[in-house]
Amino acid sequence: MDQHANGSPNGKLEASSSSLIPDIPHITANILPLSNIIKFYTQEAYKQLTTAVENLSMNIEEESDIKRKKYFLDIIISLRQDFIKVYTLIKWASISKDVSKFIDLLNWFRLQEFQFENLMFQLNALTGYSGAKLPNSDIITALEVLYNGRPTLPSYNHIKIKNLSLGKILEVLEDLNLVLMTRFALMDIPKKFQYEIKDGRVYINVPNEYQVSITVGNDLIIDNKEDYYKSPFYFIDFKFLFGINPETAMITYHDDKVFTKLPSSLHAKLEKIANQVLLKEGLEGLYDLLHRYSTSFKIYLIAKQFKELFNTRWRNNFQINYQTGKSLIIVNYWSLHYLSKNWKSFLELGIDRNSNLSYRWFKNGQYSVDQELNKIFHIIPQDELNDINDDEVDEEPYSDDLNVDLILNVVVNKHAELLMTQIYQKLLEKFGDDEVSTVTPHQLLLQISPNKSTVFAINPLTGFFYFIDPTPVQNQITKKINLPPPITKPFVTEADMVSHIIDQITQLRLEVFNKEINNKLATTEWINNGIIKLGDYELSKLTNFLLDYEEVVGVTKVQFYRRKNWPSSWFLINMVSGLTTKSFWWVARIKSISGDWKIQWVQIIKFKEEDEENLLGVDPEELNYKFFNELSTFSSNMIIDHMVLEELNLRKVKFLKIKKGEKEVLEKFKLHVPGESKVDSNGGTSSLGVHYESMLLIHNHDLLPIYNSSSSLFLKIQLIGKNQMYLKLFGNLRNLKIKNSEEYELKLHLKIDEVNNFFQIDNTVNLLTVINESRNNLLDLIFNTLNKLNELIKILDQLNKNKITILDNDMDNITIKVSNDINNLVIKLPEQADHSIQLVSKDETPWEIQLVLKYLNQYLQEHRSSNILGIIKYLHEINPIINSEKLIADQIDSTNKTYMKLANGLNKLNFDLVFFNLNHLQFIYFINSNISNMKKIQKDKIIINISFKSLRFDDKKRKLIKVSLKDNLNPKNMKFKKLFEIMFKNINELIVNKGAKKPQPAAVTSTIEDDLINFDVDESEPEEEPKDEQQVFIKLNYDYLVTKDNFGPIMNEITKSFIQYLQE
């Protein structure tokens, strides 16, 4: 042969032309379509943008604009980075076919490399060929060769074994069935075993747990436990009678098609252990072993299902603690909620001491047992299991699939229901059935304001609370509710959480109710003031009015409002409570003092009549448009009332507010008010109704003489229209000769009814002007007119009692005649209540009298006196001094004209009168003389001090005039010694002449008082001048006390002394 037998001449095998080279395997694992990636990133970007917009719309009030913009910018940047990656993938996809070929080629090279390495290992193993070697020589092998003719070597199925016949197999199986039936009939087996004998083995079923098959190794019949070791049972096969149902993904017990077989390795291990247990403990030991094994497998499956829930709606809402091989699962639900976080609430699933599946529920710091959960979970609690005997165990305890999703649902729903029940009970205690009701076990219908309700619910999945269709305020309260309560306890109990939730719901009611009232006030032109913050002490001034409402004081909110035309310090105060739907209102005057707001006056508003109960507070059904429309009137009335009362207090006028009916009070005081009319600012009758009216009883202390009036007057206050207030002061007026006139009514708004002995002073006040200008008082016109009337009555009464001639009188002036020497005087009545009367001369008056009137007016202004009798008496007493001054001046002038002149033509003697005050005057004599051998003129002065004095023990209380020369006793006046000698000589002669006519009074040594001028003369007794008044002339060293009749003569003698001295 010219060709090789094994192939081609060159020894190479040629491939047939029909065979093709196989394609390289294409790799598709872990490769996703580009469309899926783009779709995923697009959906994710839309979801993030939507979530960001929702979050930004919810926290508008809580976060700053910069922070919100930064948050949105971060999201945009993150999405941009993702889309850059997508763009990179798209660019890469354009050359993906070439790259994919390189990947396939690389994978094919690696497979070829692996196959060549495997071939090398196999070729290397052939060099040893240890399986074909004969065993080493030994006695056993030698005997085997001697007996069988050959050693026992592995045949590797090359030597065919003779098969057993079917009959032989059937015979052996029937014998085993008979033996097993007999042995099971003679021995005690566990009660839960349900067995069937067939095919030479025993199939044992434990419902819902497992199926095991066992057999024996011989046909011995064992009827004694001690001989069991001779023919023990052997483990044949095993499977669990439960498993994961692929259709429902639940742990199924009752489906015959669902069972779980063990892998070969586990089966061999179990077989070894089971045969050991069967040898030592028999069937009882086998039951215990497989029961624990099946229960542990159930725990494993449950843990596996729990882990699968991590990718469902339960994501981030629970935690699981399970270690492979352990028989305990701990599930921490609500893992993000502070009540359950860090394993504070959990469910334990495990095997109890009796190797049964059991549970324990831990919440609120203790383990809890719930009968409903026992039935739903189909788990026998440990406490009940200890009380159950083996004979009482139900044969079919598990009739449904074991669903861990259902387990979690039931636990969290039950816990949520218990929490909502506690919250509902607490809310009932505070608010009542009409404000709280149950919608579902997880939802409550809350009345958060008189006109609004909301649904408060709990999310059983997360444990967090929420409001359905929340408002911004409810969102804020929700955040606070889901935060831990502000307590320092290391462990927050459910009671603490419920109490915190109740407080926040109460705060929500407070905020919503306050916002509703604020909106209504804003629509009725009330201005809110959010600057005022009152301290606890100042707030107590408000709560002192609510002693009968102590339960509402704890959770309150106070708001301050004012009207546009109100003074800056006046406010309307509104207080609402989260515990009641009543609202409380005050009117107060508040000022900032040293940086702190202080309430200077406050009064609660009572909107109901005083004979009704529950005066304080306004029910929610009353908060309508009419209420808010009239609220301004109520509060303004209180401000006006207070301003009137405050003005009365400033005027030190005592008063009493009349709470009874007007007619009843007037009848009690026997006072009849004639026809009334309400006048507007133009003097016409107002067509607007009276919105408010009150009356004050004023104590007549010194407002009017009680003899001419009564002990009480009445002040009536009426609010007419929106901005006008009508005031009327009225009372009795009798024993008076003043008649009503049109001038009184037009100018002073005074009306006098002589027939009914009644007077009234009325005035209409523009509230806008008075309230905004603090210098304007409401009662100025009324009290000024009343003061004029009072002064007029007092002065007329004094003048009439003392028989002083009244020439003319009206409400402004009274003209009287004092004496023939003094011109008629005009008594001007005060324009203001705090002013006093003034005196002016009607005709042209000498300067001396004008100066005296000036001093008298100053005295009257300082002492606010209206006693005109003392003034008139003083004028009578000072008139001789003024007359003497005129006589002295005329006498000196006439003398100077004749011969008392110096060489240069100057008068040798001049005279002047100086007033220091009403009680101190000076008569000053100026002496001009030539100094010898000098051309200069020497000017000297002699001062005579004049003052009024009185004798302490003088029964007649006469005023004396003191003439004092003491100021002239100085060395400078020693040159006028002769002058004083002439002066004292002339005065002594005058005293002697006076004494010869009338005897000297015995009161020469009486004590002399330097009294100040006092014009307060008793008005009740008219002063009567004695017909023959005893004259007084007393010498006290260099002073003289004389009556007014002796003042002229003594001053005449002194003047003559000067003339005589200068002539000599």
- Under a CB-based contact definition with an 8 Å cutoff, are residues 571 and 588 in contact? yes
Question: Which residues sit opposite 357 in a β-bridge?
Answer: 351
Q: What pLDDT shows up at residue 2?
A: 45
Beta-carbon contacts of 751 under 8 Å, excluding residues fewer than 6 positions away, are: 740, 744, 745, 759, 760, 761, 762
Give the span between the Cα atoms of 919 and 945, in whole angstroms.
10
Give the span between the Cα atoms of 286 and 131, in whole angstroms.
40
Q: Beta strand 570-577 with 556-562: parallel, antiparallel or unpaired?
A: antiparallel
Q: What is the DSSP letter of 450?
A: T
Question: Which residues sit opposite 475 in a β-bridge?
Answer: none
Give the span between the Cα atoms of 921 and 967, in whole angstroms.
13
Question: How many Cα atoms within 13 Å fall on the side-chain side of residue 71?
Answer: 17
- DSSP string for 777-803: -TTHHHHHHHHHHHHHHHHHHHHHHTT
Q: Which two tokens stand for residue 474?
A: 């409810």
Instruction: Give me Rg for the CA atoms of the chain.
Output: 63
Burial class (CB in 10 A: 0-12, 13-18, 19+), 553: middle
Q: What pLDDT shows up at residue 211?
A: 92
Q: Which residues of 319-330 are buried (b: 16+ CB within 10 A; e: fewer)?
A: bbebeeeebebb
Compute φ and ψ for 196, nearest 5 degrees: -145, 130
Q: What pLDDT shows up at residue 7?
A: 43
Residues 1005, 1006, 1012, 1018: is their CA dihedral positive or negative?
negative
Q: What pLDDT shows up at residue 833?
A: 64
3-state secondary structure of 895: helix
3-state secondary structure of 717: strand
Beta-carbon contacts of 1058 under 8 Å, excluding residues fewer than 6 positions away, are: 909, 925, 927, 942, 979, 983
The gap from C-alpha 324 to its chain's centroid, in whole angstroms, comes to: 56
Enumerate residue ranges in the chain where pLDDT < 50.
1-18, 385, 388-399, 611-613, 674-675, 677-687, 999-1012, 1025-1028
- Under a CB-based contact definition with an 8 Å cutoff, are residues 938 and 926 in contact? no
Give the span between the Cα atoms of 239 and 970, in whole angstroms.
149
Q: Which two tokens stand for residue 184?
A: 């099971």
The gap from C-alpha 557 to its chain's centroid, in whole angstroms, comes to: 5
Residues 954, 959, 963, 969: is their CA dihedral positive or negative?
positive
Q: Which two tokens stand for residue 980?
A: 């004083």
The gap from C-alpha 371 to its chain's centroid, in whole angstroms, comes to: 46
Q: According to the 3-state scheme, what is the secondary structure of 31-97?
A: CCCHHHHHHHHHHHHHHHHHHHHHHHHHCCCCCCHHHHHHHHHHHHHHHHHHHHHHHHHHHHHCCHH
Compute φ and ψ for 1049, nearest 5 degrees: -60, -40
Residues 146, 148, 154, 155: is their CA dihedral positive or negative?
positive
- Under a CB-based contact definition with an 8 Å cutoff, are residues 283 and 232 in contact? no
H or E element at residue 992: helix 977-997
Question: Which residues sit opposite 805 in a β-bridge?
Answer: 817
Q: What pLDDT shows up at residue 100?
A: 82
Long-range contacts for 767-771 (Cβ within 8 Å, ≥24 apart)?
A: 767/636, 767/640, 767/723, 767/724, 767/725, 768/565, 768/723, 771/565, 771/566, 771/567, 771/639, 771/643
Q: State the angle between helix axes of 847-863 and 868-898 in degrees (0 to 180), rounded to the nearest 10.
A: 150
Q: Which two tokens stand for residue 867?
A: 């006693």
Q: What pLDDT shows up at residue 377?
A: 54
Question: For residue 70, how many other CB atoms are within 10 A of its CB?
Answer: 11
Dihedral of the alpha carbons of 560, 562, 566, 570, in degrees to the nearest 10? -10
* Digit-coded pLDDT (tens) for 133-151: 666 677 877 887 888 887 7
